[in-house]
Amino acid sequence: MREIKHWLDGAAVEGTSGRRLPVWDPATGEQQAYVVAATKAETDRAVASALKAFPAWRAASLSRRAEVMFRFRELVDANRKEIAALVSAEHGKTVADAAGEVARGLENVEFATGAPHLLKGGYSEQASNGVDVYSIRQPLGVVAGITPFNFPAMVPMWMFANALVCGNTFVLKPSEKDPSVSLLLADLLRQAGLPDGVFNVVQGDREAVETLLAHPDVQALSFVGSTPIAKAVYEAGTRAGKRVQALGGAKNHMVVLPDADVNSAADAAVSAGYGSAGERCMAISVVVAVGAVADPLVHAISERIGRIAVGPASDPAAEMGPLITREHRDKVAGYLSEPGTAEVVVDGRDAPVSNGPGFFLGASLVDKVSTDSPLYTDEIFGPVLSVVRVDSYDEALKLVNDNEYGNGTAIFTRDGGAARQFQYDVVCGMVGVNVPVPVPVAYYSFGGWKSSLFGDLHMYGPEGIQFYTRSKVVTSRWPDPATSEVDLGFPKVR
């Protein structure tokens, strides 16, 4: 059976621990490969490799680093189909969905190619008599990324493209559930001219994560995952003196006002609720139907669900694939077993594909969900869309703002004033107006509020550059030696 290896010092390396972790084919339920979980010594080796490579990579010119990113961008673009196919094979999402993931990751690589501009500092001439002051941004050193299973290509590119172009070296610990694409990206970086040791990959699980969190040579760490683990990673990393950005879970609400176009809102709810089988931190998992729009909206959504083609990525007609593991599929299906007072309008367990091989579950719709139900309180991370009915805009807003998560939200309305008021009032990091999945373009930054983010800086974009660098301010003076004198007072600027 195929072993998925580590990437150390510019080459694929077999694991030595003997502790095998299975990689499943979600469409068939069969094991297709395995990773050998990294030992502490192997993870230490990855950090040591990155540390050794750092001085030379940091000294490389901005033009040289940008050149590598340009070449990497071209290689990713040329290999889109291969990358998407690999993502589909291990994650289970459709090829079209995987191709979209690659495209969004590529956008961040394109942003990173602008490093010569992005890393410009500021300069103030004559801040005092004969004194100039300027700021510069410098890399941190060795940084690490711990990435989730749901976007095995995109999220790593969100992290390492900015980190590398800023002059850092990088250690990636991808999800053990779909890790192969990490090696393909590593090889493309090598082909692009990235020096050996600048980018390393360690396969594994908690042991590798804990080693990276505790390692004194790792200066910063980026994480994407569930909120409990994000909080633990943030606390452990900051306790060890590291800079940490840890993106957690979400419960994204889509507020539909009575004046909204029902068909457009239903299209958006289905697209955002069931895309990638709901395994997205930006998926819409709650539709908040305000007033009289509820009945026609629920009817329109349920009507569309029946037209969703669920199947393996190998089926060109498939629009939604399986979930990542059998355990996760069964956990998601369990929410439909005890809906409480809610009404299960469409039960995905009844879909024919749900009873075949693989980890499939049909799209599900649950209406009249109460806010104390697990259907509402839990991040289900699957193709289950809940509808909560409220009477007013104020009630809908309170629902969103009172929720512990603050990742993404959306409002559907024809009223520009209501939309503007919503984006002003809502306590959430990313807001869509008639846009159901408001993932920012690469030249903005991605991240939520409240329990959806631990740390001060969001991911990629300008804040990504800020996260992977630190500012240094230089005050300089080149005086005439004849004017030099002792002055014990506070420095004068006037």
Compute how many other C-beta atoms are within 10 angstroms of the C-beta atom of residue 316. 10
Instruction: Give the span between the Cα atoms of 162 and 467, in whole angstroms.
Output: 9
Burial of 292: CB neighbours in 10 Å, binned 0-12, 13-18, 19+: exposed
Do 147 and 173 contact (CB within 8 A), yes or no?
yes
Q: How far is the CA of 164 from the CAs of 60, 69, 194, in angstroms?
A: 11, 9, 9
CA distance 49 to 68: 19
State the Cα–Cα distance between residues 447 and 237, nearest whole angstrom.
19
Handedness of CA 228, 230, 234, 240 (dihedral sign): positive
Which amino acid, one-letter code, is at 102? V
Number of helices (H), then strands (E), belonging to the chain: the values are: 16, 23
Integer CA distances (angstroms), 211 to 144, 221, 224, 228, in order: 11, 12, 17, 19
Q: Which two tokens stand for residue 439?
A: 């993932």
Record the tokens describing residue 334, joined without a space: 């369990």
Which listed residue (109, 209, 281, 320) is catalytic? 281
Strand duo 364-367 + 343-346: pairing: antiparallel
Distance CA 255, CA 259 (A): 12
281 is catalytic: yes
224: tokens are 């994407």
Concatenated DSSP letters for 420-470? HHHHHH---SEEEES-SS-PPPTTS-B--EETTEESS--BSHHHHHHHTEE
Nearest to 365 by CA among 385, 388, 339: 385
Residue 241: count of CB within 10 angstroms of its CB: 9
Distance of CA 192 to the CA centre of its chain: 24
Which residues have CB under 8 Å from 339's CB, separation 6+?
A: 366, 369, 373, 375
Helices (H), ranges, 8-94: 40-59, 62-78, 80-91
Give me the active site residues, please: 281
